[in-house]
Amino acid sequence: MITESIIPLFVAIPLAGAFLIALLKRIKGIPDILGVLASGSMFILSILFLLKMEIAQRIIYNIGNWGGFNEVLGRIVGIQLVVDGLTIFMLLIINFVAFIVAVYSVNYMTRYTQKWQFYCLFLLMLAGMNGVLITGDLFNLFVFLEIASLASYALVAFGTEKRELEASFKYAVMGGVASLLILMGVIFLYSNTGTLNMADMAEILTGSEQPALMYLVFGLFLAGFGLKAAMVPFHAWLPDAHPSAPAPISAMLSGVLIKALGVYAIARVFFTVFGFPHQISIILMTLGAISMGVGALVALRQWDMKRLLAYSSISQIGYIMVGLGIGTPLGILGALFHLFNHSMFKSLLFLDSGAVEYAAGTRDMKEMGGLSKKLPVTSGSTLAGAMSLAGIPPFAGFWSKLIIIIALVEASHMKLAAWAVLMSIVTIAYILKVTRFAFLGALKDKYLNIKEVPLLMRISLIILALVCIFGGLLLIPEVRDTFLSPAVRVLISGMGGGV
């Protein structure tokens, strides 16, 4: 029953939801219900795809039914939507986090006015991200990337205070330049290959020899997508933008947006289109190692809880990039698994910081203390997320970091492996700072009357905490073969050819 005709629903449902929310905003409760329903149905759809997909299957949908021209003209005409193992993997992560965040926002966003605008932009961002994942066309990828980015610029400025506006301006200008660089790369590729379809482009590039122009395109794409992914030389916007957004949006931005627009796009373009040339491997590992170090070391001296978590995102993105850069099956498995884990624990930690802000009204860790007595669910779930981030054995984060480090050792990058271990120790240091100063110690007098957060917020925190604790089970061979291995296989099969 899985047919290609339901692929466009991944973009259509959130778009329709956003439109209906804007239309029916006056009716009380409609924005909440539609927001949760739209993201929930996306999550169910992606589970359906995961269960029904056969191994190494590629489902292709031709937009506007231009598919008939393919046989006549002998080349691909029109835009194709493609769903394969990697797409399903990312769709599942993104729609799961989006669903949890939507449930969480029902209570949390009562702090702000104009809740319908929040849900409207949220669904637009979701539509953009899903579009980036399912498209098989390079220019179409750019368009969806812009939809998601524009919605995220607006969401960062949602509070419309000084900080939010300033962070949003910085983010919008840097994101705008990144998009221009990506577009320029797409133009050069189009002028060189005469096609925009990624599979077609990969085929043409395998045969031809155009190194000089390709290096320019590599640079443009690395800078553009690297800026979206917040790798270190391009990271300046992230520590401002992510903490300034409302907590559910910080969770979305740090948890999934930088991965959909940055990491996924880099993996898709460099692995399946360019065939993963050796230079890219070196660049990704170098930038990843620098990101790891800079993010972790700067996070150590932060006192704002969300700012600390934002720097930690940069560091963890470094781990994912290093894993991708190794280029061995084990390294890619580690990178994708760490991507999954990072989405889970980082959204959890950002939602927790939102819960603390909701209950205690502050984000400064010097002001907090002893909150675990008053906020048992929040502090418990923070502990689960923190342990997963720090890489303490039974938690999910440990396994993915372990796989990346083993892959580094296997590929005989001993110094990098040592560096990764060292940085994970620094990770423990900065995340213990959060649990120590925020939740342990003596309770301050002004917090004697605070209450635990509302039910829906607690439910979403508990679900994410459970995923952080039991995420390691994904490595059991049967589970791995349906979820992780198809995604790894897509990236591996793209390698080897190309320039």
Residue 69 or 190 having the CB closest to another protein: 190
Residues sharing a CB contact under 8 Å with residue 462, sequence separation 6 or more, in sequence order: 377, 381
Among 33, 47, 63, 143, binds another protein (CB under 8 A): 143
Verify binding: residue 166, another protein, rule CB under 8 A.
yes
Count of C-beta atoms within a 10 Å radius of residue 421: 13
The CB-of-150 to another protein minimum distance in angstroms stands at 6
Tell me the C-alpha to C-alpha distance, in Å, between residue 414 and each of 165, 214, 418. Answer: 44, 31, 6
Residues sharing a CB contact under 8 Å with residue 17, sequence separation 6 or more, in sequence order: 34, 35, 37, 38, 119, 123
Verify binding: residue 160, another protein, rule CB under 8 A.
yes
3-state secondary structure of 235: coil
The CB-of-36 to another protein minimum distance in angstroms stands at 27
Verify binding: residue 220, another protein, rule CB under 8 A.
no
Residues sharing a CB contact under 8 Å with residue 489, sequence separation 6 or more, in sequence order: 56, 85
φ and ψ at residue 394, rounded to 5 degrees: -70, -15
Please choose, out of 22-30, 160-168, 275-283, 315-323, the segment that lies near another protein by the rule CB under 8 A. Answer: 160-168
φ and ψ at residue 204, rounded to 5 degrees: -65, -40
Residue 112 or 190 having the CB closest to another protein: 190
Residue 16 or 143 having the CB closest to another protein: 143
* Contact string 295-334 vs another protein (x = CB under 8 A): ----------------------------------------
Verify binding: residue 197, another protein, rule CB under 8 A.
no
What does the block give as tokens for 246?
């409302």
Among 26, 162, 415, 451, binds another protein (CB under 8 A): 162
The β-bridge relationship of strands 80-83 and 59-62 is antiparallel
Count of C-beta atoms within a 10 Å radius of residue 447: 19
Verify binding: residue 122, another protein, rule CB under 8 A.
no
The CB-of-169 to another protein minimum distance in angstroms stands at 5
Residues sharing a CB contact under 8 Å with residue 409, sequence separation 6 or more, in sequence order: 417
Complete DSSP assignment for 429-483: HHHHHHIIIIISSPPPGGGTT--PPPHHHHHHHHHHHHHHHHGGGGGSHHHHHHH
Q: Which amino acid is at 314?
A: I
The CB-of-163 to another protein minimum distance in angstroms stands at 5
Among 41, 139, 297, 482, binds another protein (CB under 8 A): 139
- CA 389 – CA 296 distance, rounded (Å): 12
What does the block give as tokens for 204?
């043409």
The CB-of-223 to another protein minimum distance in angstroms stands at 11
Among 83, 183, 214, 280, binds another protein (CB under 8 A): 183
Verify binding: residue 146, another protein, rule CB under 8 A.
yes
The CB-of-188 to another protein minimum distance in angstroms stands at 8
Binding-site size for another protein (CB under 8 A) equals: 30
Verify binding: residue 157, another protein, rule CB under 8 A.
yes
Verify binding: residue 33, another protein, rule CB under 8 A.
no
Residue 132 or 404 having the CB closest to another protein: 132
Please choose, out of 115-123, 142-150, 393-401, 456-464, the segment that lies near another protein by the rule CB under 8 A. Answer: 142-150
Shortest CA distance to 389 belongs to which of 308, 462, 457?
308
Verify binding: residue 99, another protein, rule CB under 8 A.
no
Verify binding: residue 240, another protein, rule CB under 8 A.
yes
Q: What element of type H or E holds 364? A: none
φ and ψ at residue 170, rounded to 5 degrees: -60, -45
Complete DSSP assignment for 10-36: HHHHHHHHHHHHHHSTTSTTHHHHHHH
Among 20, 37, 184, 199, binds another protein (CB under 8 A): 184
CA 492 to chain centre: 21
Among 79, 172, 247, 265, binds another protein (CB under 8 A): 172
Residue 148 or 405 having the CB closest to another protein: 148
The CB-of-80 to another protein minimum distance in angstroms stands at 15
Please choose, out of 110-118, 146-154, 391-399, 471-479, the segment that lies near another protein by the rule CB under 8 A. Answer: 146-154
3-state secondary structure of 116: helix
Among 6, 190, 409, 497, binds another protein (CB under 8 A): 190
The CB-of-254 to another protein minimum distance in angstroms stands at 17
Cα first-last separation, the chain:
39
Among 67, 159, 176, 454, binds another protein (CB under 8 A): 176
Q: Residues interacting with another protein, by CB under 8 A?
A: 139, 143, 146, 150, 153-154, 157, 160-163, 165-170, 172-173, 176-177, 179-180, 183-184, 187, 190-191, 196, 240
